[in-house]
Amino acid sequence: MMSIVPLLVVLPLGAAFCAVAMAQVSFLKRWTATLATLAVLANLALALLLLGEGDLRLFVGGWGPTNTLGIEMVCDGLSKLMVVTINLVALVSFIFAGAYMRRFTKPWLFDALLLLMVGAMNGVVLAGDLFNLFVFLEVAAIASYALVAFGCEAEELEAAFKYLVLGTVGSAFILMGITILYSLTGHLNMAKVHMLLPKVGLGSPAVLLAAAALLGGLALKAAMVPFHAWLPDAHPSAPAPVSAMLSGVLIKASGVYAIARIVFNVLGPTPQYAAILMTLGVASMLIGVLLAVGQWDIKRLLAYHSISQMGYVVLAIGAAAQAAARPSPDMALAGLCLFGGLFHLLNHATFKSLLFLVSGAIEQQTGTRDLKQMGGLARRMKVTSFCCRVGALSIVGVPPFNGFFSKLIIIVALVLTGHEVLAALAVFVAFVTLISFVKVQRYALEGAADKAHIANAVEAPLPMQTAMVVLAVICIVSGLAIVPLREYVFGPAADALLGSARIVTMGGAP
């Protein structure tokens, strides 16, 4: 099984370069989408196969494990959760893109760039050392910059340029933090840095500066408030499958996942880091939803909700860090917080990707993203409207949809950690989210179709319907499957952060 792990990175990266080569041959150019879909499908199958295995560690290059040198790839419970999430969203995005991207001039370039981003995100969540984490972050970011600008219109280019500038600033801070940690410990391996930092002094100015640089840069990648300025422009401008990937997995893999790894597996949880994460989470949760409720551009509305929903996840991770950093650590409570946060991370990947695909189908069939210009779509686009309702009910947190269970767990965990006010705030944010999506239902799906472009709208093509229905089914099933998911997926993922299943490379023992 260990030999499977590199394939999760190699397959999509290799397929990306093959797609570019195929595009130079006229009769092969049309098959790049098929190649991309098959590569991601194979990756998803491999990721699901790894769920039943224990933690795996591999040193690429043949230098280990005796002296534990080389490029380490770590496939623990959290990495497995992330690679399944990444490749699941990528698969439905490629299926959707089969019909959606036909209106663009170079769909093969889209296939290659999206494959490059998928392979890089897999590399991010499998990286066992800080430098390769940074390298894969940059590869994913560069591909995403190009994908945001894919339409080459003024709006897309402006959004991509803003994203590029702010993303570069975030990358500079991340690299500075990694450089400081390397200068202090002489290592880039996450487990070794974690073991050596106490000797340096966890409260030393240099360590605190490294932590500030890393958390600030990664918060920008995750679009946490106040580092969120790039996201509301990037998501509406990008093609719908790209928006689904950006919101569904990129801000998680490049931001939230990396933040959790750095805090728990490199720096170690402390009350200070917990307070920072909880502050970022609360600010993102509240400001994101308040900015969303006033939007009339459906994709911009969804973009602000991405900020808000990721606030729930970061708040839960911060609460877990606080519970683990107590004088008498409460690992059971920390595990509950992480369960809620990681469950919501997976749920957000499904329902937000679904909602962005729905918005893309509506835009393509009606020619508008303005809710005020819509109406009556429930009678003309029945499958799309059904999927829109499922996604809306999931993000709002209505039982038995998946968003209800993850939000409930987060709220209960906040109460148990003594943060009743934050729990009440989480309920308030859910209520404002409900108001937002009532507006979407009222203006987009219901009412009269008094505009010609709406009256003539028809259902989206079958590949687009298929992708949306798959995600809608997952939104329903994953909520009902909470018990087995907790035992086989989220439990091992939380253990990877809390340390009971952490792979310590020096000596190979936890």
Contact by Cβ (8 Å): 419, 285: no
Mean pLDDT by 10 residues, the chain (510 residues): 86 94 88 93 94 83 58 89 95 93 85 95 93 94 92 82 93 96 91 89 90 95 91 86 90 91 92 95 96 92 94 96 89 94 95 95 89 86 94 93 95 95 96 94 81 76 94 94 91 85 35
Q: Which residues are within 8 A (CB) of 289 and not within 5 positions of it... i.e. 6 or more apart?
A: 304, 305, 308, 429, 432, 433, 436
HEC profile of 78-136: HHHHHHHHHHHHHHHHHHHHHHHHHHCCCHHHHHHHHHHHHHHHHHHHHECEHHHHHHH
- pTM of the prediction? 0.93
- Which of 200, 169, 163, 206 lies closest to 185 in space, CA to CA? 200
DSSP structural state of residue 75: E
User: To which residue do tokens 């920072």 refer?
Assistant: 276
Look at the chain and count its residues.
510
Find the angle CA(98)-CA(99)-CA(100) to the nearest 5 degrees.
100
Tokens of 405: 């269970």
pLDDT score for 62: 62
pLDDT score for 368: 87
pLDDT score for 510: 34
pLDDT score for 174: 96
Question: How do the domains of the chain map onto residue ranges?
Answer: 4-498
